[in-house]
Each structure stands twice: as C-alpha cells, then as structure tokens.
Amino acid sequence: MTHAQVIDKVLANIDKVMIGKRDIAELSLTALLAGGHVLLEDVPGVGKTMMVKALAKSIGASFKRIQFTPDLLPSDVLGVSIYNPREMQFEFRPGPIVGNIVLADEINRTSPKTQAALLESMEESSVTVDGETIRIPQPFFVMATQNPIEYEGTYPLPEAQLDRFLFKLKMGYPQRGEEIEVLSRAEKTVPIDHLETVLTIQELAELQLAVKEVNVDHTIKTYIVDCASETRNTPHVYLGVSPRGSLALMKSCQAYALIKGRTYVTPDDVKYLAPFVFGHRMILRSEAKYEGITSNEIVDRILTRVSVPIDRVGLK
Amino acid sequence: MKEVRTDMRFLILMYALAFILLWEWLLPVIELTDTEYITVFLFFIGISFIFGLLRMKWWLSIPLKLIYLFWSLHYVFFETVILSRETVSLLITDLLSNIGIIAAWNWDGITNPFRTVLFFVLLWMTIYLIRHWIEVRKSILLFYALTVIFIAILDTFSSYSAEGAIFRIMVSGLLLIGLLTISRISDKHGRKIGTGMFAAFSLPLLFAVVCSSAFASIMPDRGPAWDDPIPFLKSVVQGEGIGSGSFVAKSGYDTDDSKLGGAFSQDSTVVFSATVPKKQYWKIETKNTYTSKGWEQRSEEAIPVNIEPGSLLAFSGADNLLEEDKFLHAEINMKEQLPFLVYPYGTSKIHTRTDVVLQNQEDNGRFWVLKDGEEAELDSFGIDLIERNYSLKALRATSMDDYALESMDFSEYLQLPEQLPARVRELALTITGKEESVYEKAKSIERYFARNGFMYDQQNVAVPRGAEDYVDQFLFDTKRGYCDNFSTSMVVMLRASDIPARWVKGFAPGEGKTNSEGKMEYQVTNNEAHSWVEAYIPGFGWMPFEPTIGFSNMTGIEYDLELDMSDPEAPDMEEREKPETNKETPVKKDEDNGVLAFFNKMDKFLRENAWIGIAVLAVIVFIAWQVYKHRGKWIPKLLINAYRKRQADWVTYTKQYKGLLKQLDRFGFKRTDSMTLSEYAKTVDTHFGGRRMKMLTEAYERGLYGGYTRHDDWAGLQEIWEDLINRASC
C-alpha cells in the first residue's frame, strides 16, 4: 500500500464520524505527520473532541484528555512521584500528558504555571519531575483548544508561547445539511464507538519518516522565505514571522504534500498552509486590532503581494 | 491603481525642479522664434504647478487658467481696453479666422495670437504630463532624457548655445530623479518620510549631485570632438577622417593657414549670393610667405588706404585693356559675415552704403569697411568690374628678362623656405625649362598636375610631420589633395623657377541659377572656399592661375593665335567646352565611389520622392502594427510547427509551457504574480472545459518543484499542448 492510500484510509475513517470537516482532519493529520501540535480555537460543541478521538482511534494510539481549570497544578498534568512503602522508594506516576494523542481542553483557563508546564513538555517531548526526565512515547500529538468567546477568568496564552503550536485552526459550524447528517448518524448509535483502527503506530512512524523525504525545491524555499520576510515588512505587523516560522511552514508543507499524494511541495501547499502557520506567529499593531484586521487577513494580503516562482530564471 | 499621496514638502521641491526643466525647454524656443514675453509663459507654468500643489479642483483651475490665457493674449497683442466688447470681438474674429486657415491647410497663415493659444495649449498638456509623471508614475526619466536630447539637438544644429542650460538641466534633473526615487521607496514601504529620514535620504543625494556637478564643471573641457555631426558621420561612413593624427577641418574661409593639410568636411552653408552675368572667382586676400607647413603674411604692415565707396580703384594692368573687355556689375548679398570683402577679378568700383569707409591693404589685397572708426559689416554691396581678356600672343612674348624692367620689388614673392627639399626645385626647373615665355612656364606648371597622376581628394590628405615639407610631401609622396595642395605647390614651383607668385584665397564661383528677375544668381557656400595662384607676368601684372584639377582656369584668354592641336594650349579650349562637368563641387566628386555615394543617391532619391517614401513607411508601419496586433493568431502556429520538430524532453517542454503561458496571456488570461500555476490552470480549464491545462501544469510542476524531468508520455502532453494553444489562438 502506498503512503497516499494509507492516508486516504485514515481520512475516510475520520469522515465516518466527522461530517464536512475533511479540511480539519487533513490539517490535523498534517500536524501529526510533521511532528507538530495544533491549537483549535472555537466555541464548544463543534466537534473538537470528536475530531481528536477519531484521529486517535484511527491510528490505534492511546488517547488522553486534560480538562484545564484554574486550580489545575503542573503536577496534575505532568505526573507526581509517590512514595511506595513496599518498595521503600519514590515511584513516578506519569500524568495525562504522557500519551500519544492528548486533548488539552480550554488551556486558557488554567494558570500560566500549568500552561508553561504543558507547553514545555510539548516542546521537549519529555516530562521532568523531581529531576527525573521521562521521554513521552512517540507519536506525541497535542491538540489544545481554547474558547474565544468567554474571556472572563482566563489566562490568554502569551504570544511567544503560541508558536509551540504548528497550526492554529478554527473549526466553524457545520453547514445545514451537514448538521442534519450529524443528527441522523447519531440517532441510534454513537458512531465513534464503532470506529476501527486503520493504521498502526509502526505505520505512522514510517509515514513520519516519509515526510522528511518530500522534496522542497529551491524555488519553494525562496517563496517561503519571501512570504516570511514580507510579514516583517508589513505596516500592520508589529512583529513578523521568525525563521522558526519559515521552518514550520516548510515542514508542514512536506507533510501536506505527502497527504496529497505528492513527493514534492508546490506553491499551492505553501499558500494553503501559510495562514495556519503564520497567523498566530505574528503580533499585530494595535491599530490593526482596532480596525478589526485579523492576522489571517494580513497573511492573505501578503500572499497576494509575493510573486510565485514559476521558473528558475532570475532566482537568487 | 492606488495612489499614495506624496509628502507636500517633497512635491513642492519636485515641482520647483520640474519648473526649472520646463524653463529650459522654453528658453531656446523663445530665443529661436524671436518671441518675447517669456515671463507670460513662465507665469503660466508657475500657476499651473501651484494649482496642482493646492489640489485645486478642475472646475476652478481650468477657468482660472483660461482667464489668464485671455489676459496674456490681451496683454501681448491687443491695445484695446481689456474686457471691452472690442477686445472680445477682436479675439473671437481672430480665432474664427484661424479655423478657416487651418481648414485650408495654410499653416503659414495662422496669426500670432492663435499661435500663442496653441503654444499655451501645448504647455498645458506638457504640464499635465509632468504632473502625471511626478505624482502617479513617480518617474521622470523619460522627460529628463527628452530634455537633454532636445537641448543637445538645438545646441548642435541651431544657433542656440546650451552651455549653461545643459549644466542646469543636469543638476535639476538628477535632483528630481533622486527625489522621485526617495518618494518611490517611501511608497513601497507604505510609510511617510519624517524630517530626519528626509534629511538622511536627501542630503547624500544633494551631496552627490553637487559634488559630481562641481567636479564636472572644474574639469578641463576637452572641446568638441567634431564640429558638426553630419560631416563627422559622413567621414565615419567612409571609414576615415577621424584616424589618429589627422584632423577634420570644415570647409569655409579661415584666416589661419599656417598649418595646411588634413581631411576636411563639407559644409554647404551659403556664405553669400552674387548676382552677376558671368562666373567669377571671388578673391579675399593673398599671402606671401611659405613656411613649408602653410602660409603666413610676413611683411611690414602696409598702411591701409582709405577708399571712398564708388570711386575708381587702381588695379594692376588696367592699362592693358583690350577692346573686347566688358564692363559688368555684380550685386553681393552676404548671408554669413566674413572678415573681409569678397571681390572678383577686374574690380573697378565698390558701391556700399554711404555711412562707411572702405579700407584696402595693398600688399595682401584685403578690403574691409569701417564705420565711425570701427570695423563694420556689410549685408550687401555692389561691384563694377571689367572682364579682362588677355592676348595670348602678348603673353607668349613675355620673357624672364622683362622682370628687370618692372619697378616692383619681387623679393617677398620669390621667398622660399631654406629647408625646401632640392627635388622640388629640380622638378620645377624640369617642368618649366622647356618653355621660353614667362606665361608658358607658368602654364606648364599649372598643367603639370592634371597629367601626372595627381588625385583630387578631400579626405585622405596628409599633414606634414616633423621636418616634412607640405609641398614636397604632396608632389612626391601622396599626390592626393585639394586646392591648398595644388595652389601651394604651384606657387612654390613658380618661385623655384624665379617667377614671382603669391597664394590667393577666396571662393570659387558657386552654383548659378536664374533668379526671378531673369538674372544669373550664384549661391556661394562654404564648400566653394578655394585657393589658387597669382603669378606676376611682366607687362600684365598679377594674373590668376588654377592648378587644382577639376577646376578650370577663369582667365579670359583672347585666342589671337593660330593654334594647332599639338599646342599645349589646345586642351584648355576643350576644357572650356565642358565647363559644367568639370566645374566641380567636391561632393559631386565623391558621389562616384563608396558607401557615401550610396547614401547620396539614396538621399537624392528620398528628397525627390518624399511622398512615396512617407507612403511606403506608413504602409510598413501599418503592416508591422497589424502583424504585431494579430500575433496571437500566428505565433501559436509557428510554435506548434517549431516544437513538432524538436525532441520531446523536459527542456523543450519547459519552453512549450512558457510559450503557452504567454499565448494564454495574450488571449486574455492574465496571471498575477501571486497566482500559482495550478490556480491559473483552474481558471483556464474553467473557460475551455476539460482539464488540459491542469494536466500540463501538473507535468510542469512535477519537473520544476519535484525535479522529475522524465515523463512517460511526452507525446501525449505535446498533443494536449497543441490542442490548448490552438484553442487559445485568438
């Protein structure tokens, strides 16, 4: 079975429970394959949890969920060392973060200390408690959600920490027909319970390796860099995208190309992914915020200004 | 297009500079057309720019400008009371009458007020263009280049001197371009420029412009490499004339003859016209001292003699008049001023206006006029002359011994430089030795050149170097030259044969035409500048000789001898039979050979068939435009044929694909730079149906971004490509 066929099976599997959310499924899978994490920003009840569950079940990975609350402590996330009287020594009990696929729900509800603990372990793929470091088993994929409506009693994530996430996505409401379909499917049974595993963790690791083999032509690298540097020269942007942002865009493009069954990245991949990768990596000036311009709009504008390389002529 | 407003201070500066540039356009136009009132136009430019700066609405600015136009017309042309019914009616009648004149294509009949209106309109449009260039295009280079070209052309071809203008244009133009660049940079970044930033940008600019202009102006001026580009171009076409060492002089009268030789070029400016029944040689002066490089006048300055205009001149040999001598009258109109008067042989009276005094210097034959003690110029004057005829019999009776009878001191006319090579003297004696009479001796030298392989040439003429002698070089080495070579050589050889001789400068007769009054009028141009020889023949005085081949002798000889055909005098008669072919202007000589001949013929042809030329040109332009306009139709056919023959591989495919992109662009599918190829393919496929463009694009993208330059089915792609490009041919 080729990579493309394997991936199609996973996506088709997710489609069984998620209706009309093929793009989000693709993007989540892209992040998973690229080894990144996703921040979903949306109102409750649009299927965030279902998406993660479906993904976890499809690849036969362990699924953990952390519901963030203001009184949650870092140890509640990472785990604690407990004295075992029988063995006469401390024993580490891993927290919910140690899993393959973790849903971190409403992360802006918890204190910055706990947020930092989560983000650090995301970055390092490891947990450090009492001087002891434990590797989190691969694949490790965190899908964090935050609710953009209720700001009361929240601790918004600092901008600098947002770039721990590869993508920031919005789910959106389903369309009318899709919502009806959701209802009909759930009329008798719970679809998620019947979901089969279509991909082993071993196969997933192979796919992750294959992502690294996807060719990124020099023209594409130039295009990515041009886009990134344009964010730094745009009047509304206070702080543009860092080289880490360019790198993240390239890696996600590689993963996305694989999902699309290609072994090379095209400018279309870059254009498609740029808003999800760059959007949360820029800090806008306050004027932009007052004018109601969102970062995604700015990225769109930038993309209309940067010329797409269509040959090698004149390339530096 | 989104217009970004430029900073006001910037605009004011830029408009001021543009004003200076426009001023430079106006200056020569005003000067060359003898228009006064430059301030009227300058003020118009000024208010137009100020209105632009104030962002005045068109419904206000246009009426204001019209009012100003009206006022200026009144100020310049009408004496009436402004705003009176008279003024208005005068103006309206004038404008209306001009419409009729224009309808009749009578361009010369347009009245001055209307010309002024047209000029204002032209200025108005120019100002509008400049404002567009500055505020929208933010690029003034085109206007700047046009200004430089305009001024350079005027400086070269007209009397306008642009020495200061070109400097002012350079400084203001460079500053303007620099400021516009700064303004473009600020637009690109979408931010306004603060004072600090403005200083940071503009001070280096100012510094650079000031330094470079100052440097340029203090550097020594090399002087023009060529006086007039047209002869220069001609000499380049001929592939000579600007070689190392030689220099190209312009034909025409010049007082300095101390260094003769070198190529010279044509200049057909008319110097004067002469209405006279017969062709005349026009003498200006003589020179007596040969320096082995050229001629100088070395003698004690003779005191000029005052001559009353219209009084009879004493001229040598007047007592030898024959019955056949005729009295003629010449009217001379000067077109260009010369330092001395031109006069024909046999001049007996010179008629000028009465408020001047004529002066004559006997030793060099110069005439000039004084007015209130200062040298003055004459636009026209008349000359009474006696056309002399010499008796050949008497001439042939002259002997070298007769010089003893003359009272004149001939030493200055027998002068020769000490270093004159002996072979020149030897040659002179060989030529003249066979003859007995003074006249025949002189005649034999005059004839010598035509029969011994000498060539008339204006271009390949050597300049004597080091110790070389000008005459020696010509007689023995080069044998190529023009009048100066021939005449100088003859004078030197005459002197070497002990015949007193001097070198004469002036003009050849020129082109004759019957004028409106039925009289012969000769146009004498700079090309007719000439030099010849005067030899003193005992009993006859100074007699002109013409050694230059291609020119025929101007002396009237009374053939009072029975001549047989073996007589050396006979060929002269033959020559006189065909004066028109032999009387040459150098240009005609050149027509016989080379590239120049082609151009001359072409030029003549075009002149004669100007309308055909214009029509042919128009047809060519029209066809070219049609071909270009319909390129969308024939380029695909060409491409298809071309690519069928090529080997199908990645390189070919790349070219095919790009050709297709261009064709689609012509067809109307515009691809913006930020559009990816597959996005573009989608719009194309939506229009034509199917997914051809998508397939082609995928193959292209695979190769470009994926590096897969191999493909299983190039032929299949080729088919799709042909299909699509055919559909897209419009």
Nearest-CB residue to B190 (from A235, A304, A307): A235
Which residues, in sequence order, are CB contacts of B409 under 8 Å at separation 6+? Answer: none
Residue B254 lies in a domain: no
Cα–Cα distance between A209 and A203 in angstroms, integer? 10
Looking at the structure, do residues A120 and A47 belong to the same domain, yes or no? yes
**Nearest chain A residue (CA) to B680:** A268
Per-residue pLDDT band at B560 (split at 50, 70, 90): low
Predicted confidence at residue B592, as pLDDT, reads 45
Identify whether A139 is preceded by a cis peptide bond (ω within 30 of 0).
yes
Q: Say yes or no: B75 contacts chain A, CB-CB below 8 A.
A: no
Range of the domain at A44: 3-188
Q: Say yes or no: B708 contacts chain A, CB-CB below 8 A.
A: yes
Residue A225 lies in a domain: yes
Q: Which amino acid is at A196?
A: E
Interface of A with B in 224-263 (CB under 8 A): 233, 235, 262-263
End-to-end Cα spacing for chain A: 40
Chain A CB contacts of B186 below 8 Å? none
Q: Say yes or no: B672 contacts chain A, CB-CB below 8 A.
A: yes
Looking at the structure, do residues A183 and A268 belong to the same domain, yes or no? no
Looking at the structure, do residues A136 and A102 belong to the same domain, yes or no? yes
- pLDDT tens digits, A193-226: 778 888 888 888 888 888 888 888 888 888 999 8
What is B350-382 written as a DSSP string?
EE--TTSEEEEETTTTEEEEEETTEEE--SEEE
Helices A267-278, A218-232: inter-axial angle, 10-degree rounding? 30
- pLDDT tens digits, A52-78: 888 888 888 888 888 888 888 888 888
Torsion, Cα A11 A14 A18 A22, to 10 degrees, reads -10
Residue A298 lies in a domain: yes
- pLDDT tens digits, B621-640: 999 998 888 887 788 888 88
CA of B704 vs chain A CAs: smallest distance (Å): 7
Which of A154, A188, A222 finishes a domain? A188
Evaluate if residue B192 carries a pLDDT over 50. Answer: yes
Among A73, A70, A92, A89, residue whose Cα is nearest residue A81: A92
Evaluate if residue B247 carries a pLDDT over 60. Answer: no
A264:B702 CB<8 A: yes
Which of B391, B417, B443 finishes a domain? B391
Looking at the structure, do residues A143 and A237 belong to the same domain, yes or no? no
Among A147, A169, A168, A171, residue whose Cα is nearest residue A159: A168
Q: Say yes or no: B707 contacts chain A, CB-CB below 8 A.
A: yes
A308:B676 CB<8 A: yes
- pLDDT tens digits, B568-608: 444 443 333 333 333 333 433 344 455 666 667 667 766 67
B706:A263 CB<8 A: yes
Taking CA atoms, B587 is separated from B250, B264, B591, B596, B612, in Å, by 13, 12, 6, 10, 26
Looking at the structure, do residues B314 and B202 belong to the same domain, yes or no? no
Which residues, in sequence order, are CB contacts of A18 under 8 Å at separation 6+? Answer: A24, A25, A47, A50, A51, A54
Looking at the structure, do residues B385 and B290 belong to the same domain, yes or no? yes
Tell me the torsion sign for CA atoms A100, A106, A111, A112: positive
Q: Say yes or no: A301 contacts chain B, CB-CB below 8 A.
A: no
Per-residue pLDDT band at B320 (split at 50, 70, 90): low
Residue A316 lies in a domain: no
CA of A97 vs chain B CAs: smallest distance (Å): 38
Q: Say yes or no: B654 contacts chain A, CB-CB below 8 A.
A: yes
Counting residues of chain A whose pLDDT is more than 90, the rounded percentage is: 2
Element (H, E) at A145: strand A141-146
Looking at the structure, do residues A225 and A150 belong to the same domain, yes or no? no
Top pLDDT among B583 and B289 is at B289
Range of the domain at B718: 629-727
Cα–Cα distance between B133 and B127 in angstroms, integer? 10
Q: Say yes or no: A217 contacts chain B, CB-CB below 8 A.
A: yes
Chain B CB contacts of A265 below 8 Å? 705
Nearest-CB residue to B705 (from A220, A304, A306): A220
Element (H, E) at A90: strand A89-94
B707:A215 CB<8 A: yes
Looking at the structure, do residues A180 and A237 belong to the same domain, yes or no? no
CA of A19 vs chain B CAs: smallest distance (Å): 27
Looking at the structure, do residues A137 and A255 belong to the same domain, yes or no? no
Q: Say yes or no: B188 contacts chain A, CB-CB below 8 A.
A: no
Looking at the structure, do residues B157 and B295 belong to the same domain, yes or no? no
A215:B704 CB<8 A: no
A266:B672 CB<8 A: no
Predicted confidence at residue A256, as pLDDT, reads 92
A265:B676 CB<8 A: no
The chain-wide mean pLDDT, for chain B, equals 78
A266:B678 CB<8 A: yes
**Nearest chain B residue (CA) to A306:** B674
Predicted confidence at residue B230, as pLDDT, reads 56
Top pLDDT among B68 and A124 is at B68
Among B251, B258, B250, B261, residue whose Cα is nearest residue B473: B261
Give the Cα-Cα-Cα angle B49, B54, B56 (nearest 5 degrees): 95
**Alpha carbon of residue A198 to chain centroid:** 21
B322 token code pair = 């024959």
Chain B CB contacts of A304 below 8 Å? 672, 674
CA of B212 vs chain A CAs: smallest distance (Å): 33
Of B358-362, B568-572, B711-715, which range is least confident? B568-572
List, in sequence order, every residue forming a beta bridge with A101; answer none if it has no partner. Answer: A63, A141
Residue B484 lies in a domain: no
Looking at the structure, do residues A158 and A266 belong to the same domain, yes or no? no
Taking CA atoms, B97 is separated from B90, B104, B111, B112, in Å, by 11, 11, 9, 12
Which residues, in sequence order, are CB contacts of B331 under 8 Å at separation 6+? Answer: B274, B275, B276, B380, B381, B382
Contact predicate A204/A59, CB 8 Å: yes
For an interface test with A, the pick among B705, B708, B710 (most A C-beta atoms closer than 10 Å) comes out as: B705
What is the DSSP code (8-state) at residue B219? S
B702:A215 CB<8 A: no
Looking at the structure, do residues B293 and B180 belong to the same domain, yes or no? no
B114 token code pair = 């209307």
Cα–Cα distance between A112 and A118 in angstroms, integer? 10
Looking at the structure, do residues A142 and A80 belong to the same domain, yes or no? yes
Contact predicate A191/A60, CB 8 Å: no
Predicted confidence at residue A250, as pLDDT, reads 92
A311:B658 CB<8 A: yes
If DSSP codes are grouped into helix, strand and coil, which group holds residue B455? strand
CA-only gyration radius of chain A, Å: 20
Looking at the structure, do residues B211 and B348 belong to the same domain, yes or no? no
ipTM associated with this complex: 0.80
Q: Say yes or no: B705 contacts chain A, CB-CB below 8 A.
A: yes
Chain A CB contacts of B678 below 8 Å? 266, 268
**Nearest chain B residue (CA) to A232:** B189
CA of A17 vs chain B CAs: smallest distance (Å): 31
Looking at the structure, do residues B91 and B201 belong to the same domain, yes or no? yes
CATH number at residue A183: 3.40.50.300
Evaluate if residue B248 carries a pLDDT over 70. Answer: no
Q: Say yes or no: A315 contacts chain B, CB-CB below 8 A.
A: no
Q: Say yes or no: B678 contacts chain A, CB-CB below 8 A.
A: yes
Residue B450 lies in a domain: no
Counting residues of chain B whose pLDDT is more than 70, the rounded percentage is: 84
Cα–Cα distance between A68 and A72 in angstroms, integer? 6
Evaluate if residue B66 carries a pLDDT over 70. Answer: yes
CA of A197 vs chain B CAs: smallest distance (Å): 33
Nearest-CB residue to A306 (from B674, B677, B702): B674
Among A169, A164, A162, residue whose Cα is nearest residue A30: A169
Residue-level length of chain B = 730
For an interface test with B, the pick among A266, A269, A270 (most B C-beta atoms closer than 10 Å) comes out as: A266
Evaluate if residue B107 carries a pLDDT over 80. Answer: no
Q: Say yes or no: A266 contacts chain B, CB-CB below 8 A.
A: yes
**Nearest chain B residue (CA) to A308:** B674
The mean pLDDT of B450-473, rounded to a whole number, is: 81
Evaluate if residue B567 carries a pLDDT over 60. Answer: no
B46 token code pair = 């000024």
B676:A262 CB<8 A: no
Nearest-CB residue to A310 (from B677, B707, B708): B677
Looking at the structure, do residues A44 and A152 belong to the same domain, yes or no? yes
Element (H, E) at B50: helix B38-53
Chain A CB contacts of B704 below 8 Å? 217, 219, 310-312
Which residues, in sequence order, are CB contacts of B203 under 8 Å at separation 6+? Answer: none
Predicted confidence at residue B571, as pLDDT, reads 40
Looking at the structure, do residues A162 and A259 belong to the same domain, yes or no? no
What is the DSSP code (8-state) at residue B81? P
Q: Say yes or no: B726 contacts chain A, CB-CB below 8 A.
A: no
Evaluate if residue B272 carries a pLDDT over 60. Answer: yes
Residue A209 lies in a domain: no
Residue B146 CB neighbours (<10 A): 12
Evaluate if residue B329 carries a pLDDT over 80. Answer: yes
Looking at the structure, do residues B163 and B308 belong to the same domain, yes or no? no
Give the Cα-Cα-Cα angle B198, B200, B205 (nearest 5 degrees): 90
Tell me phi and psi for residue B345, to 5 degrees.
-65, 145
Q: Say yes or no: A183 contacts chain B, CB-CB below 8 A.
A: no
What is the DSSP code (8-state) at residue B478? I
Give the count of Cβ contacts less than 8 A between chain A and B: 54
Nearest-CB residue to A308 (from B189, B191, B675): B675
Residue A206 lies in a domain: no
- pLDDT tens digits, B417-443: 888 888 888 888 888 888 888 888 888
Looking at the structure, do residues A165 and A267 belong to the same domain, yes or no? no
Nearest-CB residue to B705 (from A217, A235, A304): A217
Residue A194 lies in a domain: no
- pLDDT tens digits, A38-50: 888 877 777 788 8
A217:B707 CB<8 A: yes
Q: Which amino acid is at B291?
A: T
Looking at the structure, do residues B82 and B163 belong to the same domain, yes or no? yes
Looking at the structure, do residues B16 and B163 belong to the same domain, yes or no? yes
Predicted confidence at residue B596, as pLDDT, reads 64
Residue found under tokens 């390092």: A124
Q: Say yes or no: A268 contacts chain B, CB-CB below 8 A.
A: yes
CATH number at residue A232: 1.10.8.80
Q: Which amino acid is at B121?
A: V
CA-only gyration radius of chain B, Å: 37
List, in sequence order, every residue forming a beta bridge with B329; answer none if it has no partner. Answer: B384
B707:A264 CB<8 A: yes
Residue A48 lies in a domain: yes
Which ranges of B353-468 does DSSP label H, i.e. alpha helix? Answer: 392-396, 422-432, 438-448
What is the DSSP code (8-state) at residue B252? S
**Nearest chain B residue (CA) to A218:** B705
A304:B706 CB<8 A: no
Cα–Cα distance between A261 and A264 in angstroms, integer? 9
Predicted confidence at residue A252, as pLDDT, reads 92
Structural domains counted in chain B: 3
Structural domains counted in chain A: 2
Residue A231 lies in a domain: yes
Residue-level length of chain A = 316
Looking at the structure, do residues B201 and B300 belong to the same domain, yes or no? no
The mean pLDDT of B75-104, rounded to a whole number, is: 79
Q: Say yes or no: A313 contacts chain B, CB-CB below 8 A.
A: no
